[in-house]
Amino acid sequence: MKTQLRLFLFASLTLFLLEQCQPKSNSDNAVQVPTPPAPANIPVTKFDSIMQLLKSNDILSKADILELNVIDTNYSHKTTQSNFCDTSIQLNDSIFYAIICLTDEYLVCSLSFIVTIDEKNKKAIASQFLQPNCDVDFSLDSYKLYDYKIISNDSIQATKTTIFQKKDRDRTSPDEEKNIDHKEEQHRFFSITQTGQISSVK
> What is the distance between the alpha carbons of residues 84 and 103, in angstroms, rounded to a whole number?
9
Confidence (pTM)? 0.74
> What is the distance between the alpha carbons of residues 174 and 178, in angstroms, rounded to a whole number?
8
Which among 24-33, 78-87, 140-149 has the top mean pLDDT? 140-149
Q: Give the DSSP letter string of 68-124.
A: H--S-HHHHTTB-S-EEEEEEEE-SSSEEEEEEEEEBTTSSEEEEEEEEEETTTTEE
Instruction: Name the residue ranges covered by the structural domains of the chain.
Output: 46-201
DSSP state of 58: -
Q: What is the pLDDT of residues 136-187, one digit of tens each?
A: 888 889 999 999 999 999 999 999 999 999 888 778 788 888 889 999 999 9
Residue type, 161: T
Confidence (pLDDT) at 128? 97
On average, the pLDDT of the chain sits at: 84
